[in-house]
Chains A and B, each alone.
Chain A
Amino acid sequence: MVFTDRVGSSPTSGTSFMNFDHIAHTALNALELSRVSYGDIKVGQYQKEHIATKDGVVEAMESNDSMGYGIRVVKDGRWGFAASSDLSSAGIHATVKKAVVLARAAATVKADPVILTQESPLRGTYKTPYAEDPFTVSMDEKVSLLLAADESQRRVKHLKISQAYYTGWKQEKLFASTQGHWITQTLVECGGGIEATATNASDVQSRSFPNSFRGQFVTGGFENVRGMKLIDNGQRIAEEAVALLSADECPGGKRDIILDGNQLALQIHESCGHATEGDRALGWEASYAGTTFLTPDKLGIFRYGAPIVNLTADATVPLGLGTFGYDDEGVAAQRRYLVRNGIFVDYQTSREVASILQKTVPGYDRSSGGTVRSEGWGHLPMIRMTNINLEPGDNAQSGKAWKLSDLLADTKNGIFFSTNKSWSIDDKRLNFQFGTEIAWEIKNGKRGRMLKNAIYTGMTPVFWGSCDAICGRDHWVVWGTPNCGKGQPSQLMHTGHGASPARFRGVDVGVLKR
């Protein structure tokens, strides 16, 4: 194999789908021989490249390439799942056999049989639209961009640490089932960011751009990374990090707060995204991540938030990190309301969860919401957030389309929180506490002094009930969250969250100060 500077295409790229076909056919034959009532295979090749710089040194430059397959079966009414990187025919047969053994073991404990919703066995292809494949942009160019962004921060005196990051992912996968599904997808994701850190004897303060936790990520091409203006923002965030060391602590008490889009994205993720996962509602995540206060008896009647609050699960929105063509059990990507006009109206569902809801919730007649995904080929597909979005203020149901400047001008005594720093929520997704990297006091409609260690806390439906203004589509960004943990063994998933700044009235702030 000859490599050039234009790193990217994996050794098997281009021939992958041909290999996938063979693996999938072998698996389907083995599944037929095993007389399973249902079986599917996801075979995939997952590539990742990552670069990190710190203080002008490239401290990480790595490339990952992983290929394998996962096989799900329903045998004796229960699920079994086995995954392997052994691509030989014998390996595939052994993996099918193992999945059957696991299902049979599960069936020794009494349970209702697994039933899936009737869905058309789709056959199709999907590819992330992009202008520039990030895996064909030269490493040298990426490194140069990050080093320049790193350098731009170090122009600021007293800055302790400058960092810059880039990550790209590509997954090529084929999903096939005993029901006739045959779907190929190529998903391309990338993103990056910068982080400046200042310290003194008693404090550490960091500022990030465009977002914390290594930046902003999208499904799309490298053109999105070029458009982030990392170099242009380096000096500003470095100055803010240094200024935060001597900023006032966030005051305590009840305040009206405005959450910047990048903070609101995580608020949505934790308090709506996880709370509306159908498997949680059925208790299937109780052993690890917990359950949810949004129990099935609340469907269609529970007031989750103010009437202007509309939350959707939308796997079709451009650039969203939860955007794809089909989920990992062959259901087409779709957009659904989870909260409409403030009322909780639906869960994120799989074929099995939708089937259970149809049987147990009067009037529930929806099919799968198409939200099943797994991290790589080796993990069990399960309900994962797609893009869980707070619809912008110019949505028909959301009322006025605020501009951020008007929203600030309309706020007498408040705090503007930007860029997440810490996040924590209880196992039913009720009691939360978030901290942000930076905040500013709002006095009589004007953004005033900078505040550090800004924290706000609340209870989910009370908090969303206090939302009285949402900025319009001009401010709306689908923020990427590439580190959502769930499941046992734990899986990390990439999710998106469309959000524009919004205001919440009378929120508890500044827990540290009290």
Chain B
Amino acid sequence: MLGKQKLKAMTGYALKEAKRLGVGEAEVVIWGGTEELTRFAQNHIHQSVSLTDTQIHVRCILGRKIGVARANRTDPIGIRTAVARAKMLATLQREDPHFHSLPTRNTYRRISRPRKGDKHIGSSGRAQAIAIIIRNALEHDLVASGAFSESDSELGVANSHGVWAYHIGAAASLSSIVMGERGSGFASQNTKFGSGITTNEVSDTAIYKATHGEFVDVPAGEYEVILEPPAVAELLDFFGWLGPNARIYHEDVSFYQGNIGKQLFDSSLTIVDDPFQAAGYPMAFDYEGTPKKKITLVNRGVAQNVVYDSYHGHKYGKENTGHALLAPNTWGPIPTHMVLLPGKQNVSAMIKRVKRGLLITRFWYTRVVHHKKLILTGMTRDGTFFIENGTIVGRARNLRYTESVLEALKDIRGIGNDLSLEGSEGSPSLVPTLHLGKFRFTGVTQHG
């Protein structure tokens, strides 16, 4: 980690160089850090890795001609080279009539700092945690696999209009899949520091999922479902990409198109993009240095807002909401801190209300089948259970779903009072357990 002052000096040097080369507008983003990950399989550690890097990203704008260069050499020669390269690409570019300007200087909200005692536990600490998971798995004649990662990162954004923003982040994640004769079970925890992970909780949940219930035949068809947080987060990712994304929305490719202000979902559903949630990975600004703020995407089932960066905000005459990704961004601005607001039901009570349905631990390999209906397909994985008359009566083999998420979220029978952090530091979401009235499964595989 280079630290705030060093990053500020580096971005300042790059901006001076751009000015010296006659670049009218320039943006410099520098990010870096270290990520370490210990991976285990077959009850032993098979991969133990570390990566340290720093990258510089320079966007030069000549009139409306934009060039971008990225490199990982960040000494003065490397910085000058990156700036010169971005400028040269801009020289060769064509005008982009939709580009207006980079954002201007701003102030940023302070985000929560680490609590006392929060720290990474390092490779030996991760190995000790993994040893616990393996020991617990062996006690149940199971085979454990998984990964324990810890990372520190920093990001500095500066531009020729006076923007300077600095962010320091940390993330830790432990996931485990244990496998036995009855199938596999999964559990994970995502937080900021390895010291915050409760290994036994992850281990116990995965073991329970792998060992609970005998197989029952569950044919393809329509079922009520209890979706646990990892499954909900996967659906929410696709909602964020294909719904309130300004690029997709204004291209008329989004299911949001024509539906702002309309009751699109069950009235119990509220989704916000809240970058300041302490339980997530808070972030005060986007990759252009625009301050982030809380945006309501769905309010009581009504589609509410689309998110913008500076480019799309100007192009479509809307306010920049602080959702820029790193330029050049051909995916569009997307909400990266979504929260599906929890309800009041505890998960056990939700299961008791299911007449005939499935409890889904998580989905796997989800892909888009139909954009405007938000039809997705994917598989269940690592713990799918059959529920009859409020009781889990057995485990199901994995099923393929092909379902319109738009339709499925119109019939929400319950929202859990739990809230779990899912996903990575780059695109985390906070989600509860959901009880949906109908979910269509179109195939069954041979294992569970």
Q: Does A15 contact B (CB under 8 A)?
A: no
Shortest CB-to-CB span from B404 to chain A, Å, is: 10
**Shortest CB–CB separation between residue A192 and chain B, in angstroms?**
14
Is there contact, CB below 8 Å, between B49 and A82?
Answer: yes
Is A502 part of the contact surface with B, judged by Cβ < 8 Å? no
Task: Verify if B104 is at the interface (C-beta below 8 Å from A).
Answer: no
**Chain A, residue nearest B69 (CB):** A63
A453 at the interface (CB under 8 A from B): yes
Q: List, in ascending order, chain A residues with CB within 8 A of B379's CB.
A: 424-427, 431
In the bound complex, CA of A95 to CA of B398 (Å):
43
**Is B89 a contact partner of A68 (Cβ separation < 8 A)?**
no
One of A21-29, A234-242, A257-265, A283-291 contacting the partner: A283-291
- Considering the complex, which residues of chain B in the window 55-69 have a beta carbon less than 8 Å from any beta carbon of chain A? 55, 66-69
Which chain A residues (410-450) contact chain B, with CB distance < 8 Å?
422-428, 430-431, 433, 435
Of the listed stretches A199-207, A307-315, A363-371, A395-403, name the one at the interface; the rest are far from the partner chain: A199-207
A511 and B84 in contact, given A52-B330, A84-B53, A287-B177 (Cβ under 8 angstroms): no
In the complex the two chains form, what is the Cα distance from A54 to B253 in whole Å? 14
User: Does A143 contact B92, Cβ atoms closer than 8 Å?
Assistant: yes
Flag if A81 contacts B47 (CB, 8 Å). yes
Pairwise interchain contact A81-B371, C-beta atoms closer than 8 A: no
Q: Smallest CB–CB gap between B365 and chain A, Å?
A: 4
0/1 interface trace, chain A 36-58, chain B, CB 8 Å (1 if under) = 00000000000000001010011
Q: Closest approach, in angstroms, between the C-beta of B275 and any C-beta of chain A?
A: 23
Residue B109 lies at the interface, judged by CB distance under 8 Å to chain A: no
Distance, CA A489 to CA B46, complexed state (A): 14
Question: Which chain B residues numbered 399 to 448 have a C-beta less than 8 Å away from chain A?
Answer: 400, 402, 442-447
Q: Judge if B267 is at the interface, Cβ distance under 8 Å.
A: no
Q: Which of B41, B51, B55, B146 has the largest count of A CB atoms less than 10 A from its CB?
A: B51
**Complex Cα spacing A380 to B35, Å:** 13
Contact B445 A109 (CB under 8 A): no
Complex-state Cα separation, A63 to B371, whole angstroms = 31
Q: How far is the CB of A258 from chain B (nearest CB, A)?
A: 21
- Closest Cβ of chain B to A250, distance in Å, is 11
With both chains docked as a complex, state the minimum distance between the C-beta of B125 and any C-beta of chain A, in angstroms. 9
- Bound complex: CA A290 to CA B382 (Å): 10
26 sample A-B contacts, Cβ–Cβ < 8 Å, listed by A number: A3-B84, A11-B77, A58-B93, A63-B68, A63-B89, A64-B71, A66-B70, A68-B53, A79-B48, A82-B51, A84-B53, A102-B48, A109-B45, A109-B134, A112-B44, A139-B92, A143-B92, A143-B93, A143-B94, A160-B253, A378-B51, A424-B366, A424-B379, A427-B379, A489-B149, A512-B369
B98 within 8 A of A: yes
Within 8 A of B (CB), among A57-88: 57-68, 78-86
Q: Which of B53, B92, B252, B367 contacts A61 (CB 8 A)?
A: B92
Find chain B residues with CB under 8 A from A95 CB: 52
| Contact assessment for A78 and B48 in the assembled complex, using a CB-CB cutoff below 8 Å | yes
B53 touches A85 (CB 8 A): yes
| A425–B379 alpha-carbon span in the complex (Å) | 7
Interface residue? B300 (CB, 8 A): no
Cβ-closest 10 pairs across A and B:
A111-B44, A60-B328, A105-B123, A431-B445, A106-B45, A62-B68, A286-B145, A102-B48, A106-B48, A287-B145
- Extra contacts besides A63-B89, A109-B131 (6): CB < 8 Å: A57-B94, A65-B82, A82-B51, A204-B370, A378-B51, A431-B398
Are B50's CB and A62's CB within 8 A? no
Residues 73-92 of B, flagged 1 when their CB comes within 8 A of A and 0 if not, give 10001001110111011001
List the B residue with the shortest CB-CB distance to A488: B147
The CA-CA distance from A131 to B424 in the complex, in Å, is: 42
- Cβ-based interface call for B130 (8 A): yes
Q: How far is the CA of A147 from the CA of B328 in the complex (A)?
A: 17
A101 to B, closest residue via Cβ = B123
Determine how close the nearest CB of chain A comes to the CB of B444; give it in whole angstroms.
8
Evaluate contact between B130 and A287: CB separation under 8 angstroms: no
Contact in complex: A422, B368 (CB < 8 Å): yes
Contact at B127–A60, with CB atoms within 8 Å?
no
Q: Are B41 and A424 in contact (CB under 8 A)?
A: no
Chain A residues with CB below 8 A from B89, complex form: 7, 61-63, 139
Q: Say yes or no for A140: interface residue by CB 8 A criterion.
A: yes
Residues in B neighbouring A111, C-beta threshold 8 A: 43-46
* Complex contact B72–A67 (CB within 8 A): yes
Chain A residue contacts of B443, Cβ below 8 A: 431, 433, 457, 511
Complex interface residues of chain B between 91 and 128 (CB less than 8 A to chain A): 92-94, 96-98, 122-124, 126-128
The answer to whether A378 and B53 touch (CB under 8 A), given A102-B36, A105-B127, A108-B124, is yes
Q: Does B372 contact A (CB under 8 A)?
A: yes
Instruction: Give me the interface of B with A, judged by CB distance under 8 Å.
Output: 35-55, 66-73, 77, 80-82, 84-86, 88-89, 92-94, 96-98, 122-124, 126-128, 130-131, 134, 143, 145-147, 149, 175-177, 179, 184, 251-253, 258, 328, 330, 364-373, 375, 377-379, 381, 398, 400, 402, 442-447
A161 close to B (CB within 8 Å): yes
A98-B50, A199-B253 known; A287 vs B146 contact (CB < 8 Å) = yes
- A7–B69 touching, CB < 8 Å: no
Q: How far is the CB of A358 from chain B (nearest CB, A)?
A: 17
Q: Is A228 an interface residue (CB 8 A)?
A: no
Interface centre among A106, A285, A290, A512 (most CB of B within 10 A): A106
CB-CB < 8 A to B94: which residues of A? 57-58, 143, 147
Please give me the residue from chain A that is nearest to B52 by CB atom: A84
Complex contacts, A287 vs chain B, CB 8 Å: 39-41, 145-147, 175-177
Measured between alpha carbons, how far is A101 from B48 in the docked complex, in Å?
A: 9
**A286 x B93 contact (CB < 8 A):** no
**A3 contacts B41, C-beta separation under 8 Å:** no
Given the complex, which residues of A lie within 8 Å of B37, measured CB to CB? 488-489
Q: Is the CB of A64 within 8 A of B70?
A: yes
Return B95 CB to nearest CB of chain A, in Å. 8
Q: What residues on B are CB-neighbors of A282 within 8 Å? A: 41-42
Q: Which of B251, B372, B381 contacts A202 (CB 8 A)?
A: B372
Q: Which residues of A contact B98 (CB under 8 A)?
A: 57
Task: Give the chain A neighbours of B252 by CB distance below 8 A.
Answer: 160, 199, 204
Q: Which residue of A lies closest to B75 (CB)?
A: A87
* A109-B40 in contact (CB<8A): yes
- Bound-state Cα–Cα, A77 to B252, Å: 57
Residues of the B chain whose Cβ atoms lie less than 8 Å from the Cβ of A78: 45, 48
Contact A1 B84 (CB under 8 A): yes
Q: How far is the CB of A67 from chain B (nearest CB, A)?
A: 7
A204 with B371: CB separation less than 8 A: yes
- Contacting pair A109 B44 (CB below 8 A): yes
Known pairs A287-B147, A430-B446; A83 contacts B46 (CB<8 A) = no
Check A197 against B445 for contact (C-beta < 8 Å). no
Interface residues of A in 489-514 (CB under 8 A from B): 489, 511-512, 514
- Name the B residues within 8 Å of A62 (CB-CB): 67-70, 89, 328
Residues of A within 8 A of B446 (CB): 293, 428, 430-431, 459
CA distance A3 to B94 in the complex (A): 18
State the Cβ distance, B246 to closest chain A Cβ, in Å. 14
A428 / chain B contacts, CB cutoff of 8 Å:
445-447
Report the bound CA distance from A185 to B98 in whole Å: 42
By a CB distance below 8 angstroms, the chain B residues around A199 are 251-253, 372
Tell yes or no: A110 within 8 A of B by CB: yes
A102-B36, A109-B45, A422-B369 known; A59 vs B377 contact (CB < 8 Å): no
Q: B81, A1: Cβ atoms under 8 Å?
A: yes
A242 to chain B, nearest CB (A): 14
Instruction: Give complex CA distance A103, B96 in Å.
Output: 51
Which chain B positions have C-beta within 8 A of A286?
41, 143, 145, 177, 179, 184
Most buried by A among B39, B70, B86, B128: B39
Q: Which residue of A lies closest to B32 (CB)?
A: A85
Closest to B92 in A: A139
A255 interface residue, CB < 8 Å from B?
no
Chain A residue nearest to B186 (CB atoms) is A287
* Contact partners of B66 in chain A: CB under 8 A: 61
Nearest-neighbor residue (CB-CB) of A111 within chain B: B44
A422 is contacted by which of B43, B175, B377 (Cβ under 8 Å)?
A: B377
